[in-house]
Amino acid sequence: MKRRTLLTAAAASALALGAAFPSFAQDPVKVGFIYVGPRNDGGWSQHHHEAALVMAEHFGDAVELVEQESVPEGPDAERVMTQMALSGADIIFTTSFGYMDQTINVAGKFPDVKFEHATGYKTAPNVGVYSARFYEGRAVEGYLAGHMTKSNKIGYIGSFPIPEVIRGINSSFLHAKKENPDVEMSVVWLNTWFDPAKEADAAQAMIDQGIDVVLQHTDSTAPQITAQKAGNVYTFGQAADMAEFGPMPRISSIIDEWAPYYIERVQAVIDGTWETDNTWDGIGAGMVGIGEVSSAVPAEIKAGAEALTASIASGEYHPFTGPINKQDGSAWLAEGEVADDGTLAGMNFYIEGLTGEIPQ
Amino acid sequence: MDFGGINPVILLASLMVASTPILLAALGEMVVEKSGVLNLGVEGMMIFGAVCGFIAAVETQSPTLGFIAAAAGGALLSMLFGLLTQIFLTTQVPAGLALTLLGTGLASLLGQNYQGMSPPRMPDMNIPLLENIPVIGPVIFQHDAIVYLSLIMVVAIWAVLKFTRVGLILRAVGENHTAAHALGYKVKAVRFAAIGFGGAMAGLGGAYISLVRVPQWTDGITAGIGWIALAIVVFASWRAGRVLIGAYLFGGITVLQLNLQAAGAKVPVELLSMSPFLATILVLVVISARRHGASNAPAMLGRIFHSS
């Protein structure tokens, strides 16, 4: 609350100064960031925050960074965005899927302010979207999970049933199954991005049922700690490397690399060349990083994972390559067919072999 | 002995762990309300206790000192509430809400440098002999000291309130502070003591989350459990035994619904997610409605006492 007041005050005084001395040639470009969790959550929000800092450092005095953390997805987000826009932000990055409609609404009211929404699919003349092809990283995780599980039971802590999460579930299950046909996957939906207590409970519930590889699509490191306590359980870092939990339980990770994109987009604002975009990059373009496969993984499996990573990065292999059936057994992709981005972006179905239903 | 892949023994054991924070906080709040004070700051005291306990445990590498610090932290914060409501005679509801806001903010500030650290492990304290009883042993007698403490507190609080002079005075203050005052009891002192006790219990409950259940420090780690504890006190109609039922029911169904999901039960997730709240409220309302129920509330609950 206080920080926000301070920011507003600072912004107000900056505006006042600007009005008093219109001769200032180059005002710094004001860049806003909105995070769904605390900026030191150890995962998703922290990584956006760190990328924002890299971006700010890159530009030095040419950029002024304003951040707001722990903004709930909902009406509150709209208020925070409006406030940022009113206090003179030139470009605002809204870094969670649930800010999508709010971003579009606020962008409509401030046509001169640029908005960048992470992981969404709605664009406008002043709203661009960007996301990473996390499912490419999930394929590598699935490969490792399929090899490493001894009980043939894999758990996936899901956040919200949105396409991004469903893609991750499908991709990891597909590749685990490819390596180990006996594998089963349980999905637990938490309906939150960040709630360490719930995440720990979910991981514990899975481990209690004999699951020995836990994948997470939530932002805290709580599942890692729970797995560490339990012993023979493997996990993967999510959004951040989470290397401090290696070599066990964390055996690899998906790392989000946002900084280059942030630098590119802010540069475009400075140059006046910013246009709406729909960026969706993966391992190849460097937006998705695969964390070091730890020493707990046997060498030949590690080599296999690295080969898979390389073939995805080069574009030689697409994680969703047919034949793949949908959960109900109907055909989705024929032999050799590759999923198109449109279907992937709106993916709302499980592939064959997954049990359970996607909450609607 | 598995039901659809869920082992009931392991489930019951994790139920005890998941319920302990709520149980501790709710017991503390019950004592506070029995003295006629409504402290809505449980959430704030819990999270403040969680951060104090975490810092102390990390710095000293002793979980025991961590829990002591958590209790002290919670009690300290509650004294602020005591000061506001008992000395400056402010209304209790806003003071309690302010305490939650303050506690959350303070905890966030203090915890800044402790993100991502791991606290020392709280050792399990298996009770000799008893732990070997089949089924009951692993469920009840293979936990850490705080779980036992919470169970002992249920009995202790029930006994103190029912059978002792101290309990009688506390209830008298809560039922009719003017009369208690006329009889020469120090209403404010009694209430201060109750508020401090409630704060310490909430602090312990918070620290149980940050030191045992998760165990880690992150902002907002209590995630609203304090409010659940408050609600359980009311639905349990201010009885220690029912608080136990309520807390275990809530914690139990929280764990059960995750287990059901992991086991692939064909129940809609939305229904499972709300089931802890639904079941806890339903059961406690039914128990309480059977007898005197809501009329069991301390008569002076939330009233300001002024000795004039």
Distances in whole angstroms, Cα of residue B230 to Cα of each of A218, B41, B194: 28, 9, 15
Quick: pLDDT tens for A179-208. 999 999 999 999 888 888 889 989 999 998
Regions of chain A where pLDDT drops below 50: 1, 14-25
User: Tell me, what DSSP letter sits at residue A125?
Assistant: T
Partner A contacted by B5 (CB < 8 A) = yes
Question: Does a cis peptide bond (omega within 30 degrees of 0) precede residue A323?
Answer: yes
> What distance in Å separates the CA atoms of residue B216 and residue B116, rounded to the nearest whole number?
7
Return the residue in B102, B216, B254, B257 with the most chain A beta carbons within 10 A, the one to mutate for interface testing.
B216
> What distance in Å separates the CA atoms of residue A227 and residue A148, rounded to the nearest whole number?
14
**Cβ of A196 and B18 within 8 Å?**
no
Chain B (118-177) residues lying within 8 Å, Cβ to Cβ, of chain A? 118, 121
Partners of A155 on chain B (C-beta within 8 Å) are: 262
Partner B contacted by A41 (CB < 8 A) = yes
CB B12 within 8 A of CB B142: no
Residue A19: per-residue pLDDT: 44
Residue B146: per-residue pLDDT: 94
Partner A contacted by B10 (CB < 8 A) = yes
CB B12 within 8 A of CB B69: no
The structure tokens listed for B41 are 């700051």
| Nearest CB partner across the interface for A200, out of B115, B213, B219 | B213
Q: Is A351 helix (H, G, I), strand (E, B) or coil?
A: strand
**Cβ of B216 and A1 within 8 Å?**
no
> What distance in Å separates the CA atoms of residue B193 and residue B31, rounded to the nearest whole number?
10
**Cβ of A40 and B254 within 8 Å?**
no
- CA B270 to centroid of chain Cα atoms: 26
Partners of A210 on chain B (C-beta within 8 Å) are: 5
Residue B279: per-residue pLDDT: 83
Residue A5: per-residue pLDDT: 56
CB A324 within 8 A of CB A318: no
> What distance in Å separates the CA atoms of residue A251 and residue A237, rounded to the nearest whole number?
8
Residue A18: per-residue pLDDT: 44
Find residue A33's DSSP bridge partners.
A67, A93
User: Tell me, what DSSP letter sits at residue B86?
Assistant: I
> What distance in Å separates the CA atoms of residue A212 and residue A227, rounded to the nearest whole number?
9
Partners of B14 on chain A (C-beta within 8 Å) are: 201, 204-205, 208
Residue A1: per-residue pLDDT: 45
Nearest CA in chain B to A189: B269
Partner B contacted by A72 (CB < 8 A) = no
Partner B contacted by A151 (CB < 8 A) = no
Q: How confident is the model at residue B294 (pLDDT cuts 50, 70, 90)?
A: low
**Cβ of B209 and A357 within 8 Å?**
no
| Nearest CB partner across the interface for A188, out of B10, B254, B261 | B261
**Cβ of A225 and B215 within 8 Å?**
yes
> What distance in Å separates the CA atoms of residue A333 and residue A174, rounded to the nearest whole number?
13
Q: Is B119 helix (H, G, I), strand (E, B) or coil?
A: coil
Nearest CA in chain B to A157: B262
Quick: pLDDT tens for B208-258. 999 998 888 888 888 888 999 999 998 888 999 999 999 999 988 888 888
Quick: pLDDT tens for A252-293. 999 988 999 999 999 999 999 999 989 999 998 888 999 999
**Cβ of B216 and A221 within 8 Å?**
yes
Q: At what angle do helices A196-208 and B8-34 cross, to 10 degrees?
A: 150
Amino acid identity of residue A267, one-letter, is Q
Nearest CA in chain A to B105: A1
The structure tokens listed for A125 are 């003349």
> What distance in Å separates the CA atoms of residue B154 and residue A106, rounded to the nearest whole number?
52
Return the residue in A3, A41, A201 with the most chain B beta carbons within 10 A, the one to mutate for interface testing.
A201
The structure tokens listed for A198 are 């719930």
Q: How confident is the model at residue B5 (pLDDT cuts 50, 70, 90)?
A: low
> What distance in Å separates the CA atoms of residue B98 and residue B125, rounded to the nearest whole number?
38
Partner B contacted by A125 (CB < 8 A) = no
Backbone angles phi, psi at B74, to 5 degrees: -60, -40
User: Tell me, what DSSP letter sits at residue B168?
Assistant: H
Partner A contacted by B100 (CB < 8 A) = no
Domains of chain B by range and CATH? 8-115+142-296 (1.10.3470)
Concatenated DSSP letters of A286-297: TSEEEE---TTS
Q: How many residues does chain B have?
A: 308
- CA A163 to centroid of chain Cα atoms: 12
**Cβ of B221 and A38 within 8 Å?**
no
Can you tell me the ipTM of this complex?
0.76
Backbone angles phi, psi at A197, to 5 degrees: -65, -45
CB A283 within 8 A of CB A136: yes
Higher-confidence residue: B53 or B293? B53
Chain B (221-240) residues lying within 8 Å, Cβ to Cβ, of chain A? 221-223, 225
Partner A contacted by B50 (CB < 8 A) = no
| Nearest CB partner across the interface for A244, out of B116, B218, B259 | B116
Backbone angles phi, psi at B162, to 5 degrees: -85, -40
Residue B203 has pLDDT above 60, yes or no: yes
Q: What is the CA radius of gyration of chain B?
A: 19
CATH 3.40.50.2300 residue ranges of chain A are 2-12+27-132, 135-257+287-345
CA distance A42 to chain B (A): 7
The structure tokens listed for B217 are 């420090």
Nearest CA in chain B to A211: B262
Residue B295: per-residue pLDDT: 66
Question: Any idea which architecture A2-12+27-132 has in CATH?
Answer: 3-Layer(aba) Sandwich (3.40)
With respect to CATH, is domain A135-257+287-345 assigned 3.40.50.2300? yes
**Cβ of A196 and B221 within 8 Å?**
yes
**Pure H helices in B236-306:** 240-262, 269-290
Q: What is the CA radius of gyration of chain A?
A: 21
Find residue A325's DSSP bridge partners.
A331
Q: How far apart are the first and last CA of chain B?
A: 65
Partner B contacted by A357 (CB < 8 A) = yes
Q: Is A319 helix (H, G, I), strand (E, B) or coil?
A: coil
Amino acid identity of residue A357, one-letter, is E
Partners of A205 on chain B (C-beta within 8 Å) are: 14, 255, 258-259, 261-262
Return the residue in A156, A188, A357 with the most chain B beta carbons within 10 A, the one to mutate for interface testing.
A188
User: b/e string for B175-211 if b means 16 or more Cβ within 10 A?
Assistant: bbbeebbeeebebbebbbbbbbbbbbbbbbbbbbbbb
User: Tell me, what DSSP letter sits at residue A244?
Assistant: G
Partner B contacted by A212 (CB < 8 A) = no
Q: Is A332 helix (H, G, I), strand (E, B) or coil?
A: strand
CA distance A286 to chain B (A): 26
> What distance in Å separates the CA atoms of residue B56 and residue B66, rounded to the nearest whole number?
5
> What distance in Å separates the CA atoms of residue A274 and residue A265, rounded to the nearest whole number?
7
Where do we find the tokens 């692993």? B138
Q: How many CB atoms lie within 10 A of CB B125?
A: 14
Q: How confident is the model at residue B140 (pLDDT cuts 50, 70, 90)?
A: confident
Partners of B220 on chain A (C-beta within 8 Å) are: 38, 70, 194
| Nearest CB partner across the interface for A38, out of B215, B219, B258 | B219
Q: What is the dihedral of CA A240, A241, A242, A247, to 10 degrees?
A: 160
Nearest CA in chain B to A205: B259
